[in-house]
């Protein structure tokens, strides 16, 4: 292999697209005006900002004035959830989320619980899916918000968001979706889905880190989370990160433009990896076999520890992850995996309470090559065999 490493951790973050970098550069050095300044340099930044907003809106079929820039997925999620509860027409202090949300949603909900709000954590089935029927059953008169992610970051499962939204609308409850892993990778059309709020983050689709957006449907009076100078129509204060916003828009435009080809290419590579890894003893695919993100191949290996698998792969220059970037240092199974009933079912079937599962997520994108895939397929079985032949770690 000629490359320094094979990068299979695109769900954690992606390389910045060359086109996005080119588009960003002028706004670091020459066009550095504050977008709120009323001189020519400020106007240049303002113009770039509004062009970027237009591109982002177009990419998800939103109106331009429905796109609000944030510092990324975490802020968008926090804003949508916290501020929904503060809307003048909020129906009460109850929210519903799925049990496999990213920490930006899950921990926000836990934090709200500590402040006296009530949270229902919707279980998922063994493929990681929320049941629309179950959602219907847990909505209450005082439910102020439902937040269910579009695609899971650990197992790649895609939720039936359109169907879930329909239920929320019938029951007159605002619906937010964390689409951070979906936008730029699968088609996302906010009008077709009929969502009220949607979070996205640039660094997951070839844009820079530290910038994202929240889509807020026209008519939803979401109060601001960050208050100050009144930028973003008084909804999100703070001097705009113009280079970052330009980079996000250009990367998204590029990702959406190439989406059909990228889906085809990435799905083929993912399926080749899945077929090969499932030949390894004690390997199981996690997530939905069909409704899953093109780039995510996620597995469990019995008797092994996630972090050890990832570390061993790193030694052979494969960058992978155990699941969520925030939890990859943990020896515990991540929330999505322990949330899926698959783990429980398997443990019961094996009748082996002590069976441990090591999780591995290989996340690909269009920059991966067939050579990368062949290298992964060649090295992973060796790594698993080597680890299994070692003395058990004191943890087990």
Ligand X SMILES: Cc1ncc(COP(=O)(O)O)c(C=O)c1O
Q: How far is CA 40 from CA 31, 35, 105, 232, in A?
A: 10, 10, 40, 20
Shortest distance, position 82 Cβ to ligand X, whole Å: 15
Q: Which among 359, 336, 340 has a CA at the least distance from the CA of 102? A: 336
CB of 107 to ligand X, least distance (A): 11
Nearer to ligand X, 213 or 309 (CB): 213
Q: Which is nearer to ligand X, 104 or 144 (CB)?
A: 104
Provide CB contacts within 8 A for 385, sequence distance 6+: none
Between 33 and 243, whose beta carbon lies closer to ligand X? 243
Which two three-digit tokens encode residue 148? Answer: 């269910």
**CB 142 to ligand X: min, Å:** 26
Nearer to ligand X, 102 or 270 (CB): 102
List the structure tokens of 257: 């433009």
Mark whether 165 is an active-site residue. no
Q: Where are the alpha helices (DSSP H) in the chain?
A: 18-24, 26-29, 40-59, 73-84, 103-114, 132-138, 161-170, 190-193, 242-257, 259-277, 306-315, 335-339, 341-350, 370-389
Residue 151 vs 283, nearer CB to ligand X? 151
3-state secondary structure of 75: helix
Select the residue whose beta carbon is closest to ligand X and give its number: 73
Least distance between ligand X and beta carbon 334 (Å): 12
User: What are the beta bridge partners of residue 94?
Assistant: 118, 143
Q: Which residues bind ligand X (CB under 6 A)?
A: 72-74, 77, 102, 104, 149, 153, 178, 180-181, 201, 212, 325
CB 15 to ligand X: min, Å: 15
Q: Which of 326, 341, 346, 367 is catalytic?
A: 326
DSSP conformation class of 261: H
The set of catalytic residues is 326
């Amino acid at each position: 292999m000629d490359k320094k490493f094979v990068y299979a951790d695109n769900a954690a973050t992606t390389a910045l697209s060359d086109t996005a970098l080119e588009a960003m550069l002028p706004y670091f050095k020459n066009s550095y005006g504050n977008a709120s300044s009323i001189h020519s340099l400020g106007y240049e930044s303002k113009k770039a900002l509004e062009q970027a907003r237009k591109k982002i809106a177009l990419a998800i079929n939103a109106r331009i004035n429905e796109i609000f820039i944030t510092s990324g997925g975490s802020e968008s999620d926090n804003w949508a959830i916290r501020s929904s509860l503060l809307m003048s027409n909020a129906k009460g202090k109850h929210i519903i989320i799925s049990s496999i949300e990213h920490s930006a949603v899950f921990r926000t909900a836990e934090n709200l619980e500590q402040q006296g709000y009530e949270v229902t954590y919707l279980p998922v089935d063994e493929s990681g899916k929320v049941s629309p029927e179950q959602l219907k059953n847990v909505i209450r008169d005082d439910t102020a918000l439902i937040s269910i992610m579009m695609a899971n970051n650990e197992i790649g499962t895609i939720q039936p968001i359109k169907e879930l939204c329909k239920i929320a609308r019938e029951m007159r409850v605002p619906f937010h979706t964390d689409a951070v892993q979906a936008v730029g990778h699968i088609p996302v059309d906010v009008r077709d889905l009929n969502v009220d709020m949607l979070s996205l983050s640039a660094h997951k689709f070839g844009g820079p880190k530290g910038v994202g957006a929240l889509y807020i449907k026209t008519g939803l009076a979401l109060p601001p989370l960050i208050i100050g100078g009144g930028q973003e129509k008084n909804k999100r204060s703070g001097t705009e990160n113009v280079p970052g916003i330009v980079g996000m828009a250009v990367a998204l435009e590029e990702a959406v433009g190439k989406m059909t080809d990228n889906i085809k290419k990435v799905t083929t590579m993912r399926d080749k990896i899945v077929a090969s890894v499932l030949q390894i003893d004690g390997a199981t695919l996690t997530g939905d076999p069909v409704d899953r993100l093109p780039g995510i191949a996620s597995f469990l290996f019995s008797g092994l520890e996630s972090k050890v698998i990832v570390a061993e792969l790193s030694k052979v220059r494969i960058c992978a992850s155990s699941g969520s970037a925030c939890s990859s240092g943990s020896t515990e199974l991540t929330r999505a995996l322990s949330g899926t009933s698959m783990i429980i079912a398997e443990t019961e079937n094996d009748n082996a309470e002590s069976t441990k599962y090591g999780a591995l997520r290989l996340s690909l994108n269009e920059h991966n090559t067939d050579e990368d895939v062949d290298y992964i397929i060649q090295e992973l079985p060796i790594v698993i065999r080597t680890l299994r032949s070692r003395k058990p770690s004191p943890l087990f």
